[in-house]
């Protein structure tokens, strides 16, 4: 089985930057819990 690495894009320059950071944090946490390789950008 081929394991893919997930890229999580976060941040930005809009007013919703903080929401993006929090959402990304949750996603990365869930990915780690399920041992899915990921990186953030």
Residue 1: its pLDDT value, please?
Answer: 74
1 in a domain, yes or no?
A: no
Range of the domain at 12: 6-40
29 vs 9, 15, 16, 21, 35, CA distance in Å?
14, 24, 20, 12, 10
- Mean pLDDT per 10-residue interval, the chain, length 41 residues: 88 94 96 94 93
* pLDDT (0 to 100) of residue 25: 95
- Could you give the number of structural domains in the chain? 1
Res 4: pLDDT: 84
Is 28 a member of any domain? yes
């Amino acid at each position: 089985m081929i394991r893919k690495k997930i890229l999580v894009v976060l941040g930005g320059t809009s007013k919703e930057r903080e929401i993006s950071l929090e959402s990304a944090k949750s996603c990365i946490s869930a990915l780690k819990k399920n041992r899915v390789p990921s990186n953030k950008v």
